Structure 1
Amino acid sequence: MAASARVVVFGSLNVDSTSYVESFPRPGETIRSHGFRVALGGKGSNQAVAAHVAGAAVELVARVGADATGDFALATLERLGLPIGAIAREVDVPTGVAQITVADSGENTIIVTGGSNLALTPAVVDAERDRIAAAALVLTQGELPVATIDRIAAAAAEAGVRFVLNLAPPAAVAAPTLAVSDPLVVNEHEARAAGIGTDAAGATLDEWRELAASAVGTVARSIVVTLGAAGAVAASTDGAWSVAAPHVTAVDTTGAGDGFTGTLAAFLAEGRPLDEALRIAVAAGALAVQGRGTVDSYASRDVVLDAARADGGVSPA
């Protein structure tokens, strides 16, 4: 399958308000920021943009409010070249927002208000079954209502379409939803919430690889665990792999995990094996943390592939 394989993302769509500070305030403390920006965000839209930049033909199923924030979100998606035909506007609720603080260390804090994202109900999924059936891969995240996530997984399974779940933040989805995830994408904290590596504090990259392998077929069809600056691991019935992240200077980690997940989904959709898609996604995540913001920090397909090839084991586009 060539590049531009069809990826359908059911996801949250927020607008991020980000303040940049020297260090995080203590409870009750007021501090000054040295920078501020408003940008597109939400795990769903971030991952959709990342998959699009990586070469997939992406359709984003989402909801925004009938407000100026929603206008901004749709205009940004159009600027980035994403179709907005599957994004509806909700009259009585505001567009989702995220309030983000980024310290000079590159770490962040995030408060999300779901708003119109909560209108993405199981009924919406049922209305989109034809779109699901025509996809190479369906991707969603933990920011949607649990019942909606479960319905997306079931609809993808019924259509015989690969389903990828980024369980971030952790959500109490049904066991069958985890079982059909291929892969289930989690960080180490989310992995523990899903029952993987519950006693793995301080585990190494290779130890996480073995933990992921032990969960294949019991928790999910395949597993990917992201481990920040250490890299990521993956496991399926074909094997288990670990990829160390390159050493870079992190400027802003916001959205880097979404850049990883969207890139992973795009390359899986076009037929790359999990180990190769993992290596490419790690390269994408490392590039993303070197720029400020979320979607504007995602590198192009060619740049990501060049970085992944430099690390070895990735075939040309």
Structure 2
Amino acid sequence: MTNKVVVLGSLNVDTTLHIDQMPKPGETISAKSKTNSAGGKGANQAVAAARSGADTSFIGRVGEDSNGQFMIDALKHDGINTDHVDIDKVNGTGSAVILLDNQGQNSIMVYGGANQAMKPEMIVDSESLIDNADILISEFETPQDVTYEAFKLAKEHGVTTILNPAPASKILDGLLDVTDLIVPNETESATLTGIEAVDTDSMDQNAAKFAEMGIDNLIITVGDRGAYYHTPSGSGFVPAFKVKAKDTTAAGDTFIGAFSSQVKKDLSNVEEALVYAQKASSITVRRLGALPSIPTAEEIAAEYK
């Protein structure tokens, strides 16, 4: 069975500056090199889903500029349906500047542009697309009120909704009521619950806090350590595959996109889907860039026979 995945999210052109170490406040440093690539959390997640075999569509917005066409072409290159990517005649296409050091760690600054100009009324035109989906994913690089409208429609049509609250910010009232699964990293989880996620006990406490907030299904990604999951039927920790990272830029997005390609609508195979997602992201971190680093299902199968 092939999952039909719709991603509502951001489209950014990423500029990566390769540096020896992160600058200190007030310090001027030289970049060793510069690369440009297609990115944005939404684009990364959609490409990861598509490359793992999901029938993938995108809801988003770009500027009426060359970067916008570049992003649409990048999605189409992976067979992603872009019929619901709007053209914004006022705001430019989103962009990000990424500082990447020798250890593979990064700092990212994002300009929202057209991504942040999306309006809830846009979603009406995407109802049939959402109706036909198995999974709908969204993050916080686009306005939460747009996600809320989309998730409400999804729930009316029996579609499973996955929320990646990144970058972390206060969650819009009502949004968790129409969210089936929330997937923060450990920093985002702590920001939202006020509880540091450092071990299984504290992650259990995070799960309890999210349950109080109205969401029973949780995955916390913990970088190179792995991922914690909690559902009403059980909880556990799936360790990451140990690799030497070159660039962690799209690791979390690869994880979510790959996961969405494998998970069942009722989330009954969460642990199995998590293992697959860990395999995908372990390949991503060994490559440079966002979209260029995301593996295909064939590459994942070859790597982990």
Task: Say yes or no: TM over 0.5.
Answer: yes
Q: Which residue is 2:59 aligned to?
A: 61
Deviation at 1:175, TM superposition (A): 4.3
- Asked whether 1:193 is paired with 2:187, we answer no
- Note the C-alpha offset of 1:239: 0.8
Distance 1:264 1:182 in 2: 14
Aligned to 1:214: 208
Change (3 A) 1:215 1:179: farther
SS in 2 for 1:282: helix
Which of the residues 284, 294, 300 maps onto 1:288? 284
Q: Give the direction of change, closer, same or farther, for the CA distance of 1:74–1:148 in structure 2 (3 Å limit).
A: same
Using the aligned pairs only, state the percent identity: 31
Match of 1:315 in 2: none
CA-to-partner distance for each residue in 1:142-196, whole Å, 9 max, x for gaps?
111121122222221222211000000113223432233221000112112322x
Which of 223, 226, 229 lines up with 2:218 in the alignment? 223
Which residue number in structure 2 is paired with residue 247 of structure 1? 242
Counting only pairs closer than 5 Å after superposition, residues 169-184 of structure 1 correspond to structure 2 as: 169-184=167-182
Once the two structures are TM-superposed, the CA of residue 306 in structure 1 deviates from its matched residue by 5.4
Cα 1:24–1:209 shift into 2, 3 Å: closer
Q: State the Cα distance separating 1:65 from its structure 2 match.
A: 0.6
Q: Which amino acid aligns with 2:237?
A: S
Which of 93, 96, 99 is equivalent to 2:97?
Answer: 99
Checking the alignment, whether the CA contact within 8 Å between 1:95 and 1:115 is kept in structure 2 is yes
Structure 1 pair 275/180, CA: closer, same or farther in 2 (3 Å)?
farther
Q: Which amino acid aligns with 1:293?
A: G
Residues matched between the structures, number = 303
Distance verdict in 2 for CA 1:221–1:132, change over 3 Å: farther
Partner SS for 1:170? coil
* Cα offset, 1:52, TM superposition: 0.4
Counterpart of 2:298, as a letter, is D
Shift of 1:74: 1.8
Structure 1 stretch 207-216 or stretch 88-97: which is displaced more?
207-216
Structure 1: 5+ residue stretches without partners: 311-317
TM-score after normalising by structure 1: 0.90
CA RMSD of aligned residues (A): 1.9
Could you tell me how far 1:119 is from its partner in structure 2? 2.5
Check the 8 A contact 1:208/1:233 in 2, yes or no: no
Deviations 1:98-120 (A, max 9, x none): 01110011111111011111232
Amino acid at match of 2:42: G
CA distance in 1, matches of 2:233, 2:13: 39
Which region of structure 1 is more displaced relative to structure 2, 210-219 or 11-20? 210-219
- Structure 1 counterpart of 2:258, from 237, 260, 263: 263
Distance 2:98 2:45 in 1: 18
Cα gap change, 1:19/1:247 in structure 2, threshold over 3 Å: closer, same or farther? Answer: same
Change (3 A) 1:175 1:92: closer
Structure 1 stretch displaced more, 77-86 or 20-29:
77-86
